[in-house]
Structure 1
Amino acid sequence: MYIGNAYPTTNTTYARPFSSVNTAQSTRQAEEGRTGAYTDRVSISDTARQAASAEASAASSTSSGEYPVEMYQVPDWMADYGFELSGQLGASASGFAERYSQAATATQEERSEYAERISGHYQAVLASNGIEGLEAHYQATILDQASSESLHQQMRERLQNDPGMLELMAKMGKSI
């Protein structure tokens, strides 16, 4: 399940569709009658024009366009398996080490494997319950508390039946 509104096209990710494209050459020209006042004209390559067109097509193919930010959340029980990082640009990584000392001592490979396996188990739980797409995810995990608790119990069961995951969780300082 893809959650987001950016679409990768030709090794570039655009966050919003282009509304118009000026194909004139990029130049600065003085406006008539005004000394020192300039306007910019920007050109766009054929590749960029194709990427913008592909993005606009992909964006228009979503069922209801842009969603409110609340719909992108994960349930609290799933967030408990993750790590909260600083939201400030340039924040020191020592905050992570102070907050999650066990996870900080794990290797990068172990942290990556942990993240991949947690995500894999979560996606498997969603798939086994027929939950596809952002709207269905929001309904089943956030709005419907009974459904969310059922999914939580299934996730716990999957994790308990995965010895490798239990080992990684212990290294990360996480519990079921």
Structure 2
Amino acid sequence: MSTTQVIKTARRDIYRNLVLRTARLELDDGEELDKDPYEYPFDYGYELFAAGLAIGFLHKDYREESKGSYSQDFTDVDSVSSDEVRTAITFIWELIKMEEDEKTETEAWELARQYADAGVERISRDMEVKDQFDLLGFMNMAENRWEDRVEDVVGSVESEEVASA
């Protein structure tokens, strides 16, 4: 059985401030954006979700407060128009399922949402300090943490397989 991976957030306020398309959709007729569009680092909510998911997962940081308080659905992962973003979200979710093998697919997807919300909060805090999304800093952080984090997941799965053999 496969769970439906609906992208949701409990941090709608942050998405509103960081996603241009979301900001435009929420404007009343005739209302202008009050910020320069270049200040919005993400065009779509699913892009911010993917970045937040990666950051939350890499930092092993998830936001338990999000559970049960989601205020906005964006889309199903299968409906994301960007192949790269869809693949990144699915890949990290698969790592979460491996690491949390006692959880159902639905529970693992819930944890993915919590990782994403925690990561989105980190992005927001970083932007408050730097006044822009530091893509280079994000890439450097990911490069420095990625290998160790994946090794943690794969190593823990291999250890469990050896123990059960």
Q: TM-score range by the shorter chain?
A: 0.3 to 0.5
TM-score by length of 1: 0.33
Normalized per residue, the structure richer in helix is: 2
Work out which structure has the larger RCO, using CA pairs closer than 8 Å and 6 or more positions apart in sequence: 2
TM-score by length of 2: 0.34
Query: Looking at CA atoms only, which structure, 1 or 2, has the larger radius of gyration?
Result: 1
